[in-house]
Chains A and B, each alone.
Chain A
Amino acid sequence: MNAVLGVTLQGIQALRVEVEVEITGGLFVISVVGLPDASVREARERVRAALRSLGISVKGRVAVNLAPADSPKEGALLDLPIAVGIAHSMGEIHVTRPSLFMGELALDGRVRRVRGAVPAAILARDMGLPLFVPAGNAREVSLVKGIEAYKVEHIRGLFEHLRGSAMLQAIEPSEESVEYPEPDPDLSDIKGQAAAKRALEIAAAGHHNVLLTGSPGSGKTLLARSLKDILPPLSDDEMMEVLMVRSTVGLSLDSSRRRPFRAIHHTASTISVCGGGTNLRPGEISLAHRGVLFLDEFTEFRRDLLESLRQPLEDGCISVSRASGSVTYPARVLLVAACNPCQCGYLGDPVEPCRCSPSAVDRYRRKMSGPILDRVDLYVTVPRLTPEELVQAEGQEGEGSPEVLKRVIRARERQWERWGPLGFQCNAELPEKALKKQVGINAEGRRFLKEMAGRVRLSGRGISRVMKVARTIADLAGDVDISTVHLAEALAFREGGDLPWNR
């Protein structure tokens, strides 16, 4: 194996790139082969200038080969390994131990921050190789444990390190921030809306998708944002997944274990949400991985965007195929959608009259994507509070987020115990088969469900949705079997959906 290694990104995975350099006589020219993109090809100007800043003048015909030759290389992060490879080939330095290098070079030899440091760190850990990263990336790399990594400020420091004359500073694993950020907004900050808060608790406990319907100003957005603080904290593996996606996009990283919350505006393009573009970046749905994806004004979203969310909601990952290649990004999200009940927004409001004609209401409802609604387990109506309720004194606003979070975590633990051996994490993921056999429902509950299925005309899928939600409610209560009480509550959240639509 060649000792000088770089990385390139393939989806959110880092791929090892061997940098081979051959220098022959002739007029000076650097040629880069191995499917480089424009920014890699431009590396030769930066590399020569950076090496010149160290007094190393590159002469002759320089051929740089990036192996494996068949996968496309992107990004300026290959500047540093190319510079090291050329200097190694010129005999200026000797890289004896295989090492991974990444970084973009400035003309004066400084090393600039790049995206994708976390995937590179994970590759370095898996291969057991030392990693050299720009100082600007040191913080994110410090979140990956068990690697030997060094931060490079300037290429001079790196060369001195490789020559053994002065050592670079090793990156120490960073201490995890133990404190959990303050809930914003806290559930107790939201007045009224007991049913909606309960729905959010169930959604958080069982990973059920939610649709919030209500008039303008009823607090749908506030409720949705409060969801992220009652979701259980990220586990170690989940945290790594979230960090990898964020690092791939080049977003700043924090070491908190709070789940991501991404709100998308309804004018967003399909590519920005699903991922893609010329160099295949992950989209919003991947940034919301292991967290909440919030679609406000659900009815205003472009149809093709909503339809493209169907597959990731089902599979928990999204495959993006372009001419430049095909990659799979993680996309396991809790979907929260919010919309008004009709065009004017006041259908069913106790005070404000609705100004929509029946046909306008009909047209508005038809905009809802059926297949997406089909993946929603909880339909919640969010009523507007009356003026008296709004100005009421503070206090008696129910539990705060931390208490709810404790219940949610316990419910998740129960689910994990039950489904873990079968390979699922939460109730919403259950396939039909497991549901029938192992969901645990008592005789009375079964009778009740049979009766209700006839009365409210539940479809087969409807019944399994109700059972899943009821299972979560039972888990929240700590009950072994689903009973009538749980089913009745689950049915209420089903009916919420039946009221305005689907009639």
Chain B
Amino acid sequence: MPRHLDLGAAGEDLAVRELSRLGYRVMGTNIRMRMGELDIVAEEGGEIVVVEVRTRTLGRMLPPEATVGPSKIRKLVRTGTAYMDSIGWEGPWRIDIAAITLGTDGKPALEVFRDITVGLIKP
């Protein structure tokens, strides 16, 4: 497996562990829908959460969370909506980003950005 895919997979494993510690109940990982893939789907605070995991080595031009742009967000919203339909969930849901930065000493740091679509969705 190429190195960047290794890094990504390791990041997702780390995110699942860390999120569980933060109180997320992980329902599934790498869920494939027709239009794309959801990294992690979890339940927290009565909501279903779609978590997009981004892992970067320190020193890259952009921090990991900044690599989720408008078109990626649109894609997440579409894929997420399709997933909620497929499982028949009619309650509230949201999209979080789990940003993992790999330090120079090889130690990862995780930061969660909650509900990234606030104010972006037009009624």
Contacts and interface: CB of A to CB of B under 8 A. Distances in A.
Interface in A1-55: 24-31, 45, 48
A396 B80 CA distance: 90
A30 B119 CA distance: 9
Interface in B94-122: 94-95, 115, 117-119, 121-122
A164 interface: no
Nearest to B119: A45
Contacts of A27: 77, 80, 92-95, 117, 121
Given A57-B45, A59-B46, A59-B47, A24 B90 contact: yes
Given A57-B45, A59-B46, A59-B47, A28 B117 contact: yes
A43 B90 CA distance: 26
A30 B122 CA distance: 9
A60 interface: yes
A59 B92 contact: yes
B117 A31 contact: no
B115 to A, nearest CB: 6
Contacts of B115: 28
A28 B94 contact: yes
Contacts of B70: none
Contacts of B123: 29-31
Interface of A: 24-31, 45, 48, 57, 59-61
Given A28-B117, A28-B118, A59 B94 contact: yes
B59 to A, nearest CB: 34
Nearest to A63: B123
Interface of B: 45-47, 77, 80-81, 84, 89-95, 115, 117-119, 121-123
Contacts of B93: 25-27
A60 B47 CA distance: 9
A26 B80 CA distance: 10
Contacts of A45: 119
Contacts of B90: 24-25
Instruction: Determine which residue in B84, B118, B122 has the highest number of CB atoms from chain A within 10 A of its CB, and name it.
Output: B118
A48 B119 CA distance: 11
A252 B117 CA distance: 42
B119 A26 contact: no
Contacts of A57: 45
Nearest to A41: B123
Contacts of B46: 59
Contacts of B89: 25
Contacts of B80: 27
Instruction: Determine which residue in B45, B47, B92 has the highest number of CB atoms from chain A within 10 A of its CB, and name it.
Output: B92
A24 B84 CA distance: 14
7 contacts: A25-B90, A27-B92, A27-B93, A45-B119, A59-B46, A59-B92, A60-B91
A31 B94 CA distance: 17
Contacts of B95: 27
Nearest to B45: A57
Nearest to B91: A25
Nearest to B46: A59
Contacts of B91: 25, 60
Contacts of B81: 26
Nearest first, the 10 A-B pairs at minimum CB distance are A31-B123, A60-B92, A59-B92, A25-B91, A25-B90, A29-B121, A25-B92, A29-B123, A27-B117, A27-B121
B82 to A, nearest CB: 13
Contacts of B117: 27-28
Nearest to B121: A29
Contacts of A26: 81, 84, 92-93
A55 to B, nearest CB: 12
A367 B92 CA distance: 69
A31 B121 CA distance: 10
B101 to A, nearest CB: 27
A350 to B, nearest CB: 74
Given A25-B92, A28-B115, 5 more contacts: A25-B91, A27-B92, A27-B93, A28-B94, A59-B92
Contacts of B47: 59
A57 B118 CA distance: 12
A60 B91 CA distance: 7
A25 B89 CA distance: 8
Nearest to A32: B123
A263 to B, nearest CB: 46
B78 to A, nearest CB: 11
Contacts of B122: 29
Nearest to A24: B90
B84 to A, nearest CB: 8
Instruction: Determine which residue in A29, A31, A61 has the highest number of CB atoms from chain B within 10 A of its CB, and name it.
Output: A29
Contacts of A60: 91-92
A193 to B, nearest CB: 65
A126 B81 CA distance: 48
Contact of A28 (B45, B84, B92): B92
Nearest to A58: B92
Nearest to B47: A59
Contacts of B84: 25-26
Instruction: Determine which residue in A25, A31, A61 has the highest number of CB atoms from chain B within 10 A of its CB, and name it.
Output: A25
